[in-house]
A and B are shown apart, each in its own frame.
Chain A
Amino acid sequence: MESDTEQMRAVKEALHVSTAPSTVVCRENEQRRVLEFCKACVEQEKAGNLYICGCPGTGKSLSMEKAKHLLVDWAKEVGHQQPDVLSINCTSLAKTSDIFSKILGEAQPRKKVNGSTTSALQQLQNLYSQKPRSSAMKMMLIIADELDYLITKDRAVLHDLFLLTTLPFSRCILIGIANAIDLADRFLPRLQSLNCKPMVVTFRAYDKDQILTILQERLLALPYLVFQPQALELCARKVAAASGDMRKALCVCRSAIELLEAELRKSSRNFNLSTVEKALFEQQTTAADILRKQEIDVVRLDHMVVALSKTYRTPIVDTIQSLPQHQQIVLCSAAKLFHGGKKDTTVEELNRSYMDFCKSTLIPPVGSMELSTICRVLNDQGLLKVGQSRDDKSKRVTLRVDEADIAFALQGIRFFRKCFRQFCSKHIDS
């Protein structure tokens, strides 16, 4: 059992999001493009800008980390001056214009910060507009992650940042990373007129084969089989169909392993309880043991199915089913009110609908005070949305969940079946 837990730990570590893989697979193309761009800039000692876009979890930051090191190593190898590297995550900036102070700090590390009236931006602009005194000024690679945090109302900061690379003596290689594909078009129109629109490298969402390859690569280092191949394939297929987000895939796999661990613990508890005496006399490797190791110690398809459903299914149906009866009745009457295409209603109408429902099903209704408490509780849970109003009765109410979800959740309960039978017939007619 000792080695089992060690194995599990190693597997979970290999699949953890924070474990950077030794090689970045499935991003060779993108990485090559970025690297070539940077190399060209360093060789020609020219400034340039590049924009990397893609959904979350597509390997952008990871690839840039690798590219950074590769560039520096290459420069050393070939004999060029190694560029300075500045990585900034724009969410950590208190003010958007702080980015210029950081760049200035990197460009002129020895120069003391003077409390002069010129801002960091102006100093940088001055620096890059004049011919440098020493001819060997280093190139600076600036990687700005989560670039959209720099977008201000007047978009000045973003423009000025990119315009820095257009100045005659600029030494910046600027790489911006964000999620929006059209950030450059929408927020940097002026650059086009200056003919220096950034090159765009898109990191597309991973497809099924790519996710599978990446997972297998991570598990390659382990000498034993952890996942049944079908389980991995199912995971890759589902995640690719949903979002192509690699973090999700890793999360689902870890979840599946935890399910396997829980199963092993339960079975070992039973095993120990029933065969304590046997174990004292028999050898360690009985047939049962061997069988157990072969069959049980892999993550199977059923583990993966449960892990996927836990990640992708919303708990809404479960929650609605476990609500107390009166709260369900309120939800049901709300669904009925909105069935005809109405978008919102008032607490008073909801009250009436609720009373009608109770009357038709011969259930004593709760008082109006309790009804408003129920509405508040449902609002807190995110099922209803109750607006503000001075008068309790005229607060506006909208549904936050889909009618179909409510119908699906409650149709199994006999009490609500009559209500939803009318629903379904209406749906078919319309």
Chain B
Amino acid sequence: MGREKAAKEALNLLRGRLCDPTFVFKPLSDSPESNYSKLKFIISSSVTEACNNSILLLGPRGSGKIAVLELVLKDLFLEYPDMISVIRLSGLLHSDDNCAFKEIARQLCVEHDLLFSKMASFDDNSQFMIAMLRECGLAHKTVIFVLDEFDLFAQGKQRLLYSLLDAMQSITSQAVVIGVSCRLDADQLLEKRVRSRFSHRKLMFLPPSKEDLQRLLGHILSLPLDSTLPRDYAVEFNAKLQNMLADEKFKQTIYTYMDSDATVNHLLRFLFRAVSYMDLGSGFLALENFKTALPNIQRQPKLECITEYKSIHDTFQTSDYYARNVCLRAFEHLQQRELISFTDNRGHNQSVEFRPVKLLISSYELQKGLKSYRSCPVILLKLMDREA
């Protein structure tokens, strides 16, 4: 296989992996202390011991809560076929009690091959849910309720939460309620009655540690040796990758990127871009790919307009004369792109030239933008350095 063809295939493989959350979160789940193992233990012990349980998964958006949950559920379905059924609700869609009960009834009907009637009233639906829970309890089947955006269910009178958690207080039902939320104080939002019935189990999804990060990068970016890719290419690719991962400069790049947002999702977006810059000729990932991806993600829209700023600056500092309307136009462009704005909101009586203006981007951003603009005149750079 030609080098370029192999590189293309490798690129597709890597990009496919980066878009698949189940692949990404597997290595983080291997240790017994990981959230995956803890969650799996709690749910499987509820299933085997036939008791009720409730748990909250908390963490910032993009830290993998739903991904890990889906991994756990998939594995449990394999281990305990026919003993689990899953009902999924979302706080965005079902925070109204009527809607929620209807949706629960509909999903239960689908699970158990019953006919769902849209005409059923609120009362009917809640009675149905309680009856089904009892039936499932007798048949030793555990019902798992997944409540996404849990904090949105805690608005209003919290009737759904109360009914669910109250149903779990009786010995006839076998249910697990899993709440997923990005609000860390989600359990403080619960009414005291509901909170008393909630079991206070919380699993925090914290950002990965530096060692975990290294392992994750290695896992995602290493090519498999037993696929359709030529073996020696894959071996060489992986060796180069390992060298790069151990390089201090690479680590610095990654850490600065993660300094503003350390969730796994954020990292994946960056990796996707970096991987796309891979040079297909050589077929290997290099440090430059990552470095190029970095500023591109961080301030893409602003860099393109730095050219305009240049024209204004020129008219003030050098003897180059630009036509006045060119300058004004450039000024307007800058204002549209929101690089500058007028400090006063008064009317447009005064001529544009005389209104005070402030710069909206920081001097640091400007500096970085100018540096990456290839055909920037030297005089501008010197000016920036002088002012900095």
Give A contacts to B, CB under 8 Å.
9, 12-13, 16-20, 55-57, 89, 91-94, 98, 146, 149, 179, 245, 247-248, 251, 255, 266, 310-311, 314-316, 318-319, 322-327, 355, 364-370, 373-374, 377, 380-383, 400
Contacts and interface: CB of A to CB of B under 8 A. Distances in A.
B77 interface: no
A72 B196 CA distance: 30
Nearest first, the 4 closest Cβ-Cβ pairs linking A and B are A56-B196, A324-B262, A382-B183, A94-B122
Given A18-B168, A91-B159, A382 B49 contact: no
Interface in B47-81: 49, 51-52, 58, 60-61
Nearest to A325: B259
Given A16-B51, A94-B122, A57 B204 contact: no
B357 interface: no
Contacts of A370: 260, 298
Nearest to A92: B126
A19 B171 contact: yes
Contacts of A380: 60-61, 182-183
A257 to B, nearest CB: 11
Given A16-B51, A18-B51, A383 B159 contact: no
Contacts of A319: 184, 204, 206
A9 to B, nearest CB: 5
A400 B51 contact: no
A373 B62 CA distance: 13
Contact of A149 (B122, B157, B259): B157
Interface string B118-137: 00011100100000000000
Contact of A382 (B185, B197, B202): B185
- Interface centre among B170, B196, B206, by most chain A C-beta atoms within 10 angstroms, is B196
B21 to A, nearest CB: 19
A91 B191 CA distance: 13
Nearest to B259: A325
B253 interface: no
B51 A251 contact: no
B191 to A, nearest CB: 9
B299 A369 contact: yes
A373 B261 contact: yes
Given A247-B196, A251-B200, A13 B123 contact: no
Contacts of A367: 298-299, 302, 361-362, 365
B184 A315 contact: yes
B16 to A, nearest CB: 27
A365 B258 CA distance: 14
Contacts of B183: 380-382
Nearest to B169: A18
Contacts of B262: 323-324
Interface in B181-233: 182-186, 192-193, 195-197, 199-202, 204, 206-207
B364 interface: yes
A12 B49 contact: yes
Contacts of B193: 56, 146, 179
Contacts of B199: 251
B360 A322 contact: no
B132 to A, nearest CB: 15
B173 to A, nearest CB: 8
Interface string B98-129: 00000000000000000000000111001000
Nearest to B301: A369
Given A248-B196, A324-B261, A315 B202 contact: yes
A19 B168 CA distance: 11
Interface of B: 32, 49, 51-52, 58, 60-61, 121-123, 126, 151, 157, 159, 162-163, 166, 168-171, 182-186, 192-193, 195-197, 199-202, 204, 206-207, 258-262, 298-299, 302, 360-362, 364-365
B184 A382 contact: yes
Given A20-B171, A377-B61, A380-B183, A94 B52 contact: no
Contacts of A146: 162, 193
Contacts of A149: 157
Given A255-B201, A367-B365, A381-B60, 11 more contacts: A13-B49, A13-B51, A18-B169, A18-B171, A89-B166, A324-B258, A324-B261, A326-B259, A364-B364, A366-B260, A370-B260
B313 to A, nearest CB: 20
A381 B182 CA distance: 5
B123 A92 contact: yes
Given A13-B49, A13-B51, A94-B121, A314 B261 contact: no
A19 B49 CA distance: 13
B192 A55 contact: yes
Contacts of A17: 52, 169, 197
Contacts of B51: 12-13, 16, 18
A56 B58 CA distance: 25
A319 B181 CA distance: 14
A187 B229 CA distance: 76
A322 B261 CA distance: 11
Contacts of B260: 324-327, 366, 370, 373-374
Contact of A18 (B52, B122, B202): B52
8 contacts: A13-B49, A16-B51, A91-B163, A245-B196, A251-B199, A322-B206, A369-B299, A377-B61
B130 to A, nearest CB: 9
A327 B195 CA distance: 30
B365 A56 contact: no
A111 B28 CA distance: 64
Contacts of A13: 49, 51
Contacts of B298: 366-367, 370
B235 to A, nearest CB: 33
A9 B51 CA distance: 10
A27 to B, nearest CB: 17
Contacts of A400: 185
Nearest to B199: A251
A311 B56 CA distance: 12
